[in-house]
Structure 1
Amino acid sequence: MSLRRLWAIILKELRQMRRDRITLAMIVGIPVMQLVLFGYAINLNLRNLHAGIADQAGTAASRALVMDMVATGVIAPTLAARTPDELMAALRQGQISVGVVIPPDFERRRFEGREAVQVLVDGSDTVVQSAAIQLAQVPLDSQPLRNDRPLRSGAVGGGGQISVVAFYNPQRRSAVNIVPGLIGIILTMTMVMFTAVAIVRERERGNMELLIATPLSRSELMIGKVLPYAAIGLIQTTLVLLLGLWLFEVPIRGSVVDVYLAAMLLITANLTLGLLISTKAQSQFQAMQMTMFVFLPSILLSGFMFPFAGMPRTVQWLAEVLPLTHFLRLIRGIMLRGARIWELWPEVLALLAFIAVMMTLAILRFRKRLD
């Protein structure tokens, strides 16, 4: 072995790496991204959960109780409701994570030591459910509590005066929360990579110039290239749904049609993103590298692995750009809470806007590169 020849190869690889901006960005960007995300954005100590308050008593004591609950930092009131039914509707639509019900006879219940307040929790997220239990420890007043009265089944509360009732996943099974999110994770990973690599592969093999020479318009060419992957995405969705139902008994409380409509929105969003990446990448390896820049923030910031409510506000704004964030709200709302897709219209509009922007940018860049 010649050390001189070996050194020449090492220098050649270092120079090639220096010229490859994507690889250089991966070398520096991934460690920095992970450090910042895990150290700054990831927070398991939930605060400021969106909450709805139904204070039917309207007394000084009930208002003081609400202020004490807000002072814990666990909840941040975003909805004033008149009835528990309004809170339940807001929970189903994902507008709030916690609902506080104070009944009209709050003063009498408090004096008698009976259950006086009910906290309704979206139990589809087990972390939110655990955080909301802290509200049961808020003292009502200095009146002695009667602890000889049993708590209602499924409720948790100090002395029985504040009960926390979890809906949609009272058993706190992790699979119920994870399996719907896995649909989004799998579709994000495969759809973006498949599309980005497929377009670049045509360019590397010299087939792209031949296709452009045909009467096909560039829009027809790009859309036609990715439509088969939409069918693959629907097959993957069906596979996860069937396995989740068979192996983990994950319910589908909403419409199956709505589930597939939500999946199709994410599939289309990821395909358009893959198209945009393909217009920038020079090789299949670069396409996979750029896909990692999308996939890593998606899995960490979307709310799949870590609670969205625990992230700093600036990170939440960044997460709102990611299609997986909106899909998770859609799929969990439909499958676990029984919501209809039209009730979750803000998430639908966000995904449609993402699709329109990505497709427009991809077509514009595609024309610029191949004219």
Structure 2
Amino acid sequence: MQWKRLMTITRKEFIHIKRDKASLIIALMMPIMMLLLFGFAVNTDVNNVDLIVYDGSRTSESRELTSKFTNSSYFRLYGEVNSPKEVEEYIAMGKVKVGLVIPPDYTKELRRNSPTEVQVLVDGSDPTIARTAMSYSLLIGNNYSLKMKKIETQRSALGKQENTGISLKPFVLYNPTLESSKFNVPGVIGLILQNITVILTSFAMVREREKGTIEQLIMTPVTSFELIVGKLIPYTLIGFFDMIVALLLGNIIFGVTIKGSVALLILLGTLFLICSLAMGMLISTVAKTQLQAMQASIALLLPSVLLSGFMFPRESMPKIVYYISNVLPMTYFLQILRGIIVKGVGITYLISPIISLLILIFIIVGITMKKFSKTLD
């Protein structure tokens, strides 16, 4: 081995790397992005869980109990409603994870030293948050009861009068047994639908460009719209096939059934499929080689896994990371999947994620069409 020849080859390779600026940027920025994502997003601590309150008593005692929840770092007051039914509706829509229901006779029973029950409704579609929220609720309730008993004992002349305090009764909605499979399987279906379609589509135009056949397609009477649709149809069929297989296997192996409308799930799955195909096509028009397309796909899919709420609760993420997750289509599709499959809710409860997903679809499709037209020009 001669050092001169070795250094010549090394210098030549550095020149190739320098010329391939897209791959160089991805190679240099990927470690930084992964460090920031894993550092901020990978957090199993659950704090600031959104809480909705129904205060049927509306007294100083009931407001004090509410303040015990909201003044802690565990819960964050989302708002107050006028009926227990509205509490369940807010949880069904995914706006909050926990609801506090204070009965109308709360203060009356409390002053009589009678057993006073307060209900805590928990969204069981996310077992991690549900278990933590129940533990936090019981901890707050027990501490508050002990404080009340201590005050009542001090007020009693003989120190024998006993205050029964309050009893918090957690009730888990949608997933009473807190099975992790009912939380994970819908998320996996979304990831399968996105990852496969994005990766396969991202190679579509790059493959034509590398083989030199893109010029032949441009010379034909085929329009850019026909070219895009024609290339996306096979991947659309593959995406539908993968979604059906994932749903069947989730039911057969893990016992996860679709509680809501299958037709609605397919319709909204089609919207997300269009979004994923558009993202893949956008990568395909930007990347010059299949290696660049693969690198760009990984750079796009990694945040979707970590920030969308698939693995880690979004409530525990820093504000800046939480806001970044709002621009990921996967974030809203996971809400739709878990809403239909686990909760069995209808379209009226999914308006917010559907509108957000549609906005992202229009933006991504618009950018893709504009970029693709320029690429053909």
Q: Same fold (TM over 0.5)?
A: yes
CA distance in 1, matches of 2:115, 2:20: 69
Residue 308 in structure 1 maps to residue 310 in structure 2 = no
Ranges of 4+ aligned residues in structure 1 off by more than 6 Å? none
Q: Which of these residues, 340, 343, 353, is aligned with residue 347 of structure 1?
A: 353
Q: What is the CA-CA distance between 1:159 and the residue it aligns to?
A: 8.1
CA distance in 1, matches of 2:320, 2:11: 41
Q: What is the CA-CA distance between 1:253 and the residue it aligns to?
A: 1.0
The alignment partner of 1:251 has SS state of: coil
Spell out the pairing of 1:71-86 with structure 2 (5 A cutoff). 71-86=71-86
Letter in 2 for 1:129: A
CA distance in 1, matches of 2:217, 2:99: 57
Letter in 1 for 2:77: P
**2:157 maps to which residue?**
none
**1:221 maps to which residue?**
227
CA displacement, residues 139-196 of structure 1 (integer Å, 9 cap, x when unaligned): 3444449xxxxxxxxxxxx987012111112212111100000011112211111111
Letter in 1 for 2:115: R
**2:285 maps to which residue?**
279
Spell out the pairing of 1:20-59 with structure 2 (5 A cutoff). 20-59=20-59
CA distance in 2, matches of 1:136, 1:267: 42
Q: Contact 1:262–1:341 (CA<8 Å) still a contact in 2? A: no
The alignment partner of 1:116 has SS state of: strand
Q: What is the CA-CA distance between 1:115 and the residue it aligns to?
A: 4.7
Q: Which runs of 5+ in 1 are unaligned?
A: 146-157
Q: Contact 1:132–1:164 (CA<8 Å) still a contact in 2? A: no
* Residue range with higher mean Cα deviation, 179-188 or 336-345: 336-345
Q: What is the CA-CA distance between 1:330 and the residue it aligns to?
A: 0.7
CA displacement, residues 112-147 of structure 1 (integer Å, 9 cap, x when unaligned): 4535211101011012112212112223444449xx
CA distance in 1, matches of 2:214, 2:364: 21
**2:131 maps to which residue?**
130
The alignment partner of 2:77 has SS state of: strand
Q: Contact 2:149–2:165 (CA<8 Å) still a contact in 1? A: no
Letter in 2 for 1:340: G
**RMSD, aligned α-carbons:** 1.9
**1:6 maps to which residue?**
6
Q: Contact 2:198–2:297 (CA<8 Å) still a contact in 1? A: yes
CA distance in 1, matches of 2:225, 2:114: 69
CA distance in 1, matches of 2:348, 2:303: 28
Q: What is the CA-CA distance between 1:251 and the residue it aligns to?
A: 2.5
Q: Which of these residues, 166, 175, 180, is aligned with residue 172 of structure 2?
A: 166
* Residue range with higher mean Cα deviation, 73-82 or 60-69: 73-82
The alignment partner of 2:343 has SS state of: coil
The alignment partner of 1:79 has SS state of: strand
**2:302 maps to which residue?**
296
Q: What is the CA-CA distance between 1:43 and the residue it aligns to?
A: 2.6
CA distance in 1, matches of 2:204, 2:351: 32
Distance 1:232 1:321, change over 3 A: same
Q: Contact 2:148–2:165 (CA<8 Å) still a contact in 1? A: no
Q: Contact 1:22–1:290 (CA<8 Å) still a contact in 2? A: no
Letter in 2 for 1:336: V
Q: What is the CA-CA distance between 1:214 and the residue it aligns to?
A: 2.0
Letter in 2 for 1:195: T
Q: Contact 2:57–2:105 (CA<8 Å) still a contact in 1? A: yes
CA distance in 2, matches of 1:114, 1:4: 89
Letter in 1 for 2:275: A
**2:17 maps to which residue?**
17
CA distance in 1, matches of 2:327, 2:34: 18
Residue 64 in structure 1 maps to residue 64 in structure 2 = yes
The alignment partner of 2:43 has SS state of: coil
Q: Contact 2:41–2:312 (CA<8 Å) still a contact in 1? A: no
CA distance in 2, matches of 1:232, 1:114: 59
Bigger Rg, which one: 2
Q: Contact 1:42–1:310 (CA<8 Å) still a contact in 2? A: no
Q: Contact 2:204–2:281 (CA<8 Å) still a contact in 1? A: no
Residue 364 in structure 1 maps to residue 370 in structure 2 = yes
Q: What is the CA-CA distance between 1:232 and the residue it aligns to?
A: 1.0
The alignment partner of 1:162 has SS state of: strand
Q: Contact 1:244–1:250 (CA<8 Å) still a contact in 2? A: yes
CA distance in 2, matches of 1:185, 1:10: 40
**2:160 maps to which residue?**
none
* Residue range with higher mean Cα deviation, 42-51 or 99-108: 42-51
